[in-house]
Structure 1
Amino acid sequence: MGKAFASHGDLEDKVVSFEKLSNNAYAYTAEGDPNTGVIIGDDAVMVIDTQATPVMAQDVIRRIREVTDKPVKYVLLSHYHAVRVFGASAYQAREILASRDTYDLIVERGEQDKASEIGRFPRLFRNAESIPPGLVWPTMTFKGEMTVNLGNLEVKIQQVGRGHTKGDTIAWLPEQKILFAGDLVEYQSTPYCGDAYFRAWPATLDELSKFKAEKMVPGRGPALKSAAEVRQGLAGTRAFLTDLYGEVNRGVADGKDLKTIYREVYAFMKPRYSDWVIFDHCMPFDVSRAYDEATGFDDPRIWTAERDVEMWRQLEA
C-alpha cells in the first residue's frame, strides 16, 4: 500500500475514565477512543455502544460491576460501525436495540464494514479473535423513537436526523437532562464522516440543541459536564463539518479533481483541527465522502478493505 493508514501508527494505550454523571448515568471514555455510555435503573442496566471486541468490553463490565450488580438487560447500538458493536456478546444482554435504519445498514454493508474497520485500526480491534463469527444483529428495532423502562427510570431512544450515518440513535434522560449522542457529536476529536450526510448533519445538530442537555456523552472525547460544554461540543462538530464540506464544495464547483481538493482541504483544515484526535486518520475518508456528496452521491458508497487501500493510495501516495 505504500504509506500505511495513519491509524496504524496509533498504538499507544489510552487512559480510561469512568465518570459518574448522575446516580443513573456513567461515561466510559478513553482520550478520544470510542466512548460507551451506561445507564443504571432500579431493575436493569443499559449499555450504549459496546466497544470493538468482547475482550475490550470486559473492562466496561468490570467498571459497571464496581457500581452495581444489576443485570445488563439492554445494549443500544447508536449506529452500525464495527468499532461500536462487536463487543456486544460480552454483555449477554436480553435485547440489542437499534433503529431500523441501522438494521438495514447491517444487512447492506455489515460484512464489508467489519473487514474495513479491522484493517484500518488494529489497536481498537486487539483480541479480534474473541469476536464471535457473523455480525451483531439487533433483536429489537424501532422507527422514530421508543421508551425503555429500567425500573423507575425511563430512557428515551430517538432518531433525530441523519448525520454520522443514516441510522444514528441517541439516548436521553429527560428528567436529568443527560444526552448520549453517539457519533453525532464529537469533542476534541475529529468526526469520522466516511458514511455521513454532510448536508443533513447540521440540521440534526440543531435538533440536538433543542434538548438543552446539561450533560452529554459524545461519541469520542471526554464527557461534557455542563450546558456550556454541551454547546461547545455541538458547535465544534458543526464547525468541522461546515468548514470541510464548504471547502470541498468550492473545489468541486471549480472543477478540481479529488486529489487536488484533498490537498487543498487538508491544508485549510490542519491549522484549525490538527490537534483533534485521529485528524490524519479521518481526513482522507471525510474528504472522499464530501466529494461524493458534492458530486451527486446522496448516499454513502460502501467502504471495503479494498476500497480503503485504493483511496488511501490515491490521496496519500
Structure 2
Amino acid sequence: MTTSTPDAARLYELLPGAYAWVQPDGTWWINNTGVVAAGDGVLVIDTCATAARTERFLRAARAATGDVPIRLAVNTHQHGDHTYGNSLLPATTVLIGHERMREGLRVDPVIDGCPPFWQPVPDWGPVTRRLPDVTTSAGLTVHVGDRRVELMHPGGPAHTTGDLIAWLPEQRLLYSGDLVFAGLTPLVFMGSVRGALAAVDWLAGLGPAVLVPGHGPVLTGADIERVLDEHRRYYSLVLAVAEEGLAGNLSPLEAAGRADLGEFAGWADAERLVLNLHRAYADHAGGDVDLISAFTDATAWLGRPMHTAV
C-alpha cells in the first residue's frame, strides 16, 4: 500500500540537473514539483500545499544542486497544492505565472482557511499568499544556464484558465502540471473538459520522452501514450455523461449517480466526476461553476468528506 506521508516524497534525477519531486500518493493536495539546475541558477517548477511539505522539497533541491541559488520559479496553475508554498521561496526568486493564474491566486480564499469538504481539514502551516512577479498571457522562454525551458500555455482553458507547462525541447522533458494526472482521476472543474481533451493531443504532439505529471509517478516510454489515452477516454466519458444528463434534465449530481465509471471506477478521487460534470454543464449553459454547490455535490456523491493526507 502506498504511503502518503510527507517523508514518502523523493527527488528523482531524470537527467543531469533536472529533477522531479514526487509525492505519493498524488491524491487531493499532494502534488509533484520540479527542479532544473544549470550554471549558477536553478528553476523551481511549483511548490507544495503546506509549509512543511514545501520546506522538505526545497531542502532536497538545495542538497541536490549544491545550494545553487533558486533564481526563477514558475507556477503551472493557481491551485493551492502547487502555489501555497510560494512564500517559502527565497525573496530574491523571480516567480512566473500566467496572468489568469496570478489573479486566481490573488482572490483565492482557501489559503486563509480550507473549507470542511476534506477530512482531515488541511492545515497549510505558516504560508502567506505570494503572487507571480512576472506574468504571461501565452508563454515565454527562460534560460537556466545553457538550458532552454519553454513555458507554454495550451491556448485555452484546460485544467484551469491559466495553465503553463515547462518544456525542455532539447531533452524532450515535460513538466505538465495538472494537464496530466497519472493513474488517478483528472480534475477540470476550473477549466474546460473539451479544452483538457484538446490539451492532451497538444502535449502528445510535443513528443516527450519523459513526462512529469502534476500528480502520480513520472512517465517514460509507452506509459506516456498509455496515460494520455486514458485521459482521452475519461474526458470522453465525462462529455457523454453530461450530454445524457442534460438531455434528461438531470442535475450533475443525478447524472453522476447514474454514470458507470467502468475502467475508471478504481481511480482515486473518483468524486471528481461530479466536479467535472459541473464544469461541462456550466460550459453548456455559457456560465461558470458554483464552487460551493459543486463540492457539496461531490461530497454527497461520495457520502462523506473527501480524503486528504496533507
| Same topology, TM > 0.5 | yes
1:201 and 2:189 equivalent?
no
Give the Cα–Cα distance (whole angstroms) in 1 for the partners of residues 211 and 120 of structure 2: 26
What whole-Å deviation, never above 9, does each CA across 1:148-169 have from its counterpart, x for those lacking one?
A: 1111111111102321001010
Alignment correspondent of 1:82:
80
Alignment correspondent of 2:142:
148
The alignment partner of 1:65 has SS state of helix
List gaps (5 residues or longer) in structure 2.
Answer: 304-310
Give the Cα–Cα distance (whole angstroms) in 1 for the partners of residues 4 and 264 of structure 2: 21
Contact 1:81 1:114 in 2 (8 A): no
More helix by share: 1
Give the Cα–Cα distance (whole angstroms) in 2 for the partners of residues 189 and 172 of structure 1: 23
Alignment correspondent of 1:292:
282
Paired amino acid for 1:97: I
Alignment correspondent of 1:303:
291
Alignment correspondent of 1:7:
none
Alignment correspondent of 1:4:
none
- 1:67 to partner: Cα distance: 1.3
- 1:302 to partner: Cα distance: 5.3
Task: Trace 1:168-317 onto structure 2 (pairs within 5 A).
Answer: 168-226=163-221, 228-265=222-259, 268-269=260-261, 271-280=262-271, 282-297=272-287, 300-301=288-289, 303-304=291-292, 307=293, 310-312=296-298, 315=301
Alignment correspondent of 1:130:
126
Identity of aligned residues (%): 24
Give the Cα–Cα distance (whole angstroms) in 1 for the partners of residues 232 and 189 of structure 2: 16
What whole-Å deviation, never above 9, does each CA across 1:61-119 have from its counterpart, x for those lacking one?
A: 12112311211112211000112101111121521100112123234x422x4368564
Alignment correspondent of 2:43:
46
Contact 1:26 1:39 in 2 (8 A): yes
Alignment correspondent of 2:308:
none
Paired amino acid for 1:206: D
Give the Cα–Cα distance (whole angstroms) in 2 for the partners of residues 195 and 119 of structure 1: 19
Contact 2:253 2:298 in 1 (8 A): no
- 1:279 to partner: Cα distance: 2.0
The alignment partner of 1:21 has SS state of strand
Contact 2:160 2:192 in 1 (8 A): yes
Alignment correspondent of 2:306:
none
Give the Cα–Cα distance (whole angstroms) in 2 for the partners of residues 41 and 12 of structure 1: 31
Paired amino acid for 2:229: A
Task: Trace 1:105-120 onto structure 2 (pairs within 5 A).
Answer: 105-107=104-106, 109-111=107-109, 113-114=110-111, 119-120=116-117
TM-score, with structure 1 as normaliser: 0.84
The alignment partner of 1:74 has SS state of strand
List gaps (5 residues or longer) in structure 1.
Answer: 1-9
Contact 1:45 1:150 in 2 (8 A): yes
Give the Cα–Cα distance (whole angstroms) in 2 for the partners of residues 11 and 120 of structure 1: 22
1:103 and 2:102 equivalent?
yes
- 1:291 to partner: Cα distance: 2.6
- 1:131 to partner: Cα distance: 1.4
Contact 1:183 1:218 in 2 (8 A): yes
Contact 1:28 1:35 in 2 (8 A): yes
TM-score, with structure 2 as normaliser: 0.86
Give the Cα–Cα distance (whole angstroms) in 2 for the partners of residues 293 and 116 of structure 1: 29
Alignment correspondent of 2:34:
37
Query: For residues 259 and 118 of structure 1, do their structure 2 counterparts lie closer, same or farther at Cα, with a shift above 3 Å needed?
Result: closer
Paired amino acid for 2:35: V
Most deviating of 283-292 and 93-102 = 283-292
Give the Cα–Cα distance (whole angstroms) in 2 for the partners of residues 136 and 122 of structure 1: 26
